[in-house]
């Protein structure tokens, strides 16, 4: 049996065209809603800076949520950044947040004021006590401090202690000085 074209139901092109903008509007609305929900979630996110005992350094140091040591570059400050090049950021990734509305929380044992610094590249970097915080790409596990004491990018890198100072070079054992008896020449 041959079907005649006048009885066959052919979708109207006009119908497809009119539904397309409505569908795109619905998709755009859903995407915008999801985007706003994500932004609202990101804005209300809390980032906690933790501390942990580092056996290599023998001190409580700042660590990321993954337990990696956090560093500062001496003599860098929030008003004088030294780690600005892409090469520096490659080796020393800044500790960043996605929004100025991110809440910063100091974990147990962490002392000092946490703040957010807007870098010239637009990144929002976390600071503690006015020190921009970084991680070191050479640390791959908890309790590592492979960046301690490295000299590069205009300064010296130090693990940031949980107390109010940055660490210095690992403490060396103090040699015990033996007191010698004073020397008196013969006949004295």
Count of residues in the chain: 188
- Note the pLDDT tens digit of each residue in 123-133: 999 999 999 99
* HEC assignment per residue over 150-172: CEECCEEEEEEECCCCECCCCCC
Q: What is the pLDDT of residue 35?
A: 45
Question: What is the percent of the chain where pLDDT is above 70?
Answer: 64
Q: Out of 6-10, 45-49, 69-73, which region has the weakest mean confidence (pLDDT)?
A: 6-10
The radius of gyration computed from the CA coordinates of the chain, to the nearest angstrom, equals 30
Structure tokens at 156: 């010296």
Structure tokens at 173: 């054992």
Question: What does the mean pLDDT of the chain come to?
Answer: 77
Of the pLDDT bands very low, low, confident and very high (cuts 50, 70, 90), residue 56 is confident
Whether 187 shows a pLDDT value over 70: the answer reads no
Pairing of strands 103-106, 46-54: parallel
Cα 126 from Cα 19, distance rounded (Å): 48
Please tell me the number of Cα atoms within 13 Å of 36 on its side-chain side.
Answer: 6
- Note the pLDDT tens digit of each residue in 58-116: 999 999 989 999 999 999 988 899 999 999 999 999 999 999 999 999 899 899 999 99
- Note the pLDDT tens digit of each residue in 130-178: 999 999 999 999 989 999 999 999 999 999 999 875 554 443 333 333 4
């Amino acid at each position: 049996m041959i079907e005649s074209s006048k009885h066959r139901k052919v979708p109207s092109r006009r119908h497809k065209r009119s539904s397309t903008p409505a569908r795109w509007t619905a998709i755009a609305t859903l995407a915008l809603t999801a985007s706003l929900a994500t932004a609202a979630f990101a804005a209300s996110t809390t980032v906690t800076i933790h501390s942990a005992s580092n056996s290599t350094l023998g001190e409580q140091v700042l660590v990321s949520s993954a337990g990696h040591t956090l560093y500062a570059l001496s003599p860098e400050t929030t008003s004088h950044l030294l780690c600005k090049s892409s090469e520096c950021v490659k080796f020393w990734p800044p500790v960043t947040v996605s929004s100025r509305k991110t809440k910063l929380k100091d974990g147990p044992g962490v002392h000092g004021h946490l703040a957010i610094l807007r870098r010239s590249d637009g990144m929002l970097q976390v600071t503690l006590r006015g020190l921009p915080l970084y991680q070191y790409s050479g640390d791959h596990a908890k309790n590592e401090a492979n960046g301690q004491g490295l000299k590069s990018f205009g300064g010296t890198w130090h693990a940031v202690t949980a107390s109010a100072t940055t660490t210095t070079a690992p403490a060396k054992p103090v040699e015990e000085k033996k007191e010698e008896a004073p020397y008196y020449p013969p006949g004295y």
